[in-house]
Amino acid sequence: MDAPVLYAELHLANTQGLRCTSPPSPRQDACWGSGWHRVALKLGCVGLILLLMGLSVLVGFLVQKPPIEKCSVAVQENKTEPTVRSTILECPRDWHLHWNKCLFISQTSRPWAEGLADCSLRGATLLLIGDGKELKLLQDFSKGKGQQFFIGLKYVQEDKVWKWMNGSILNTNLLRITGKNEENSCALISHTEVFSDSCSSDNHWICQKTLKRV
Amino acid sequence: MPSSAHLQDPPPLLSRTLTQNEGQTSLRQSSSCGPSAASASESLSGSTESRIPHSKMLQGKLPRNIPLEYPAGLYCCYVVIIVLSVAVVALSVALSVKKTAQISTINTYAACPRNWIGVGNKCFYFNEIPSNWTLSQTLCKEQGAELARFDTEEELNFLRRYKGSSGYWFGLHRESSAHPWKWTDNTEYNNSVSIGGDEKHGFLSDNGFSSGRGYIVRKSICRKPNSYTSQCL
């Protein structure tokens, strides 16, 4: 019985010794190695992320187009539409209703005589202004258009007076002509006043016709 | 492993004395019971078997892992980092070059002031507020310009197209219908385009060139050289 006792003791001692010595060394090596690797990997990842961010920022800058100021002058033309339109009284197309008149605004510029002829062809006459309200309305119209217009008023050298195309003499209380009273002078309405311009100058004009009941 | 076992001989001797005592106590207990003795022998045999595979695994892992993992991963990381770094540097250089080009571009576009229109080496301004010819010229001068003139067909075509249907004062004038037309700098006009009307101040109409009385209010056009040209000169 003593002999088996000795055998058992030897085996146990060997097993315990190996266990005590072998486990710590690989663990320590593994921990040390794995720790270093993890730190390195983290740093690598951070570096890569920073590089990618830098790349995206630079690409954004390159792709961005330089701002170019667009130079343009806006030409605003506000067409004045008729204020009142009844079912009974109508104007032809392209004409504007102003109280009891239909007005046509020329699209081109020509000397006064050509404007007069154009109005005749349309069965109308150059504009005649009857009162101060109508004058104000037309000056506002001129302002909106940014243009000036010949009307049916001309200086007659022989009589030394301004005459309307219907033969009546201008009432200077109604409107005052700014400029020269001399031969070859025709009235040009602007947004502030009525000028005496050369009849041979190029200007737009306004035709009028009396409104007819439909 | 066996060499390490030999080196560890002295400590086991001390541990043997302790384990002997423990062994004796365990044997006494086992002598009383038959099955417990059998289980003890089995556990001993199991431990002996497990020793060998552990040692083999350890021996195998260490040499295999080190050469395989370290170089491959690191090399990949190095390559990627180098590529990205080069890309960043290249983009930085390209961006700096582009900025230089952009600066010159801005100068080119800024040759005419805001709201002025560049044509060739000139700047044109369309004054939309009607005023008489003399005041129009004064307003142009206040901006370092003159009432417009044209030196080339290109400029004339631009003026004609851009003005629309309104009449615009420009730089031609004369003392009377018997005198020749002149520009605002008093150089004589070459009559390349005839001027309608019989007045003393020229304006652009949609019928070509016309003339009117200077006190009439009209829109106007100014012109001056662009600053880019000035800088070059």
Per residue in A121-132, pLDDT (tens digit) is 999 989 999 889
- Is A195's CB within 8 Å of B167's CB? no
Confidence of residue A110 (pLDDT cuts 50, 70, 90): confident
pLDDT band at B124 (very low <50, low <70, confident <90, very high): very high
Please report whether residue A76 resides in a domain: no
**Considering Cα of B106, then B108, then B110, then B114, what sign does the dihedral take?**
negative
pLDDT of residue B41: 43
CA distance B233 to chain A (A): 25
Give one DSSP letter per residue of chain A, joined into a string.
-HHHHHHHHHHHHHHHHHHHHTTHHHHHHHHHHHHHHHHHHHHHHHHHHHHHHHHHHHHHHHHSPPP-PPP-------PPPPS---SSB---TT-EEETTEEEEE-SS-B-HHHHHHHHHHTT-EE----SHHHHHHHHHHHHHHT--EEEEEEEETTTTEEEETTSPBP-TTT--EES--STTEEEEE-SS-EEEEETTS-BEEEEEEE--B-
- What does the alpha-carbon distance between residue A126 and residue B201 come to, in Å, rounded to a whole number? 25
**Per-residue pLDDT tens over the stretch B3-52:** 444 444 444 444 444 444 434 444 443 343 344 444 444 444 444 444 45
pLDDT value at residue B33: 37
- Residue A124's contacts (CB-CB under 8 Å, 6 or more residues apart) are A102, A104, A207, A208, A209
Tokens 């740093």 identify what position?
A43
Enumerate the domain spans of chain B. 126-224
pLDDT digits 0-9 by tens, B86-95: 888 887 787 7
Q: What is the pLDDT of residues A119-166, one digit of tens each?
A: 999 999 899 998 898 898 888 888 888 888 999 999 998 898 999 989
Nearest by CB: B92 against A58, A68, A197: A58
Is residue A194 predicted with pLDDT exceeding 70? Answer: yes
CATH topology classification for B126-224: Mannose-Binding Protein A; Chain A (3.10.100)
Q: Which residue has the higher pLDDT, A1 or A183?
A: A183
Q: Hunting for tokens 């000036």 — which residue is that?
A: A148
Number of domains chain A is built from: 1
Q: What pLDDT is stored for residue A213 in this prediction?
A: 57
Q: Which residue's structure tokens are 């409104």?
A: A211
Residue bearing the bigger pLDDT, A207 or A14: A207
- Residue A64 within a domain: no
Across the interface, which of B4, B126, B217 has its CB nearest the CB of A190? B217
**Looking at per-residue confidence, does B72 or A138 come out higher?**
A138
Q: What CATH number corresponds to the domain at position A161?
A: 3.10.100.10
Q: Is A24 a member of any domain?
A: no
Highest mean pLDDT: which range of A86-100, B2-16, B154-168: B154-168
Contact list, A107 vs chain B (CB under 8 Å):
165
Probe site for chain B from A194, A199, A201 (most B CB atoms < 10 A): A201
Contact call for B115 and A66, based on CB within 8 A: no
The crossing angle, in degrees rounded to 10, of helices A24-63 and B34-109 is 20
Whether residue B123 has pLDDT greater than 80: yes
Question: Ranked by mean pLDDT, which of A18-32, B44-58, B90-104, B206-220 comes out on top?
Answer: B206-220
- What's the pLDDT band for B216 if we cut at 50, 70, 90? very high
Q: Is A91 within the bounds of a domain?
A: no
| Residue in B44, B47, B128 nearest the CB of A146 | B128
B32 vs A192 pLDDT, higher one: A192
Pick from B65-69, B78-82, B222-226: least confident: B65-69
- Please tell me which of the candidates B23, B58, B205 has its beta carbon nearest to residue A202: B205
Q: A61 contacts in B (CB within 8 Å)?
A: 95
When pLDDT is averaged across residues B118-129 and rounded to a whole number, the result is: 90
- Say what the pLDDT of residue B101 is: 62
Instruction: Pick from A32-46, A67-81, B159-173 the range whose average pLDDT is largest.
Output: B159-173
pLDDT at B163 over 90: no
Note down the domain range covering A146: 96-210
Q: Which DSSP state fits B166?
A: S
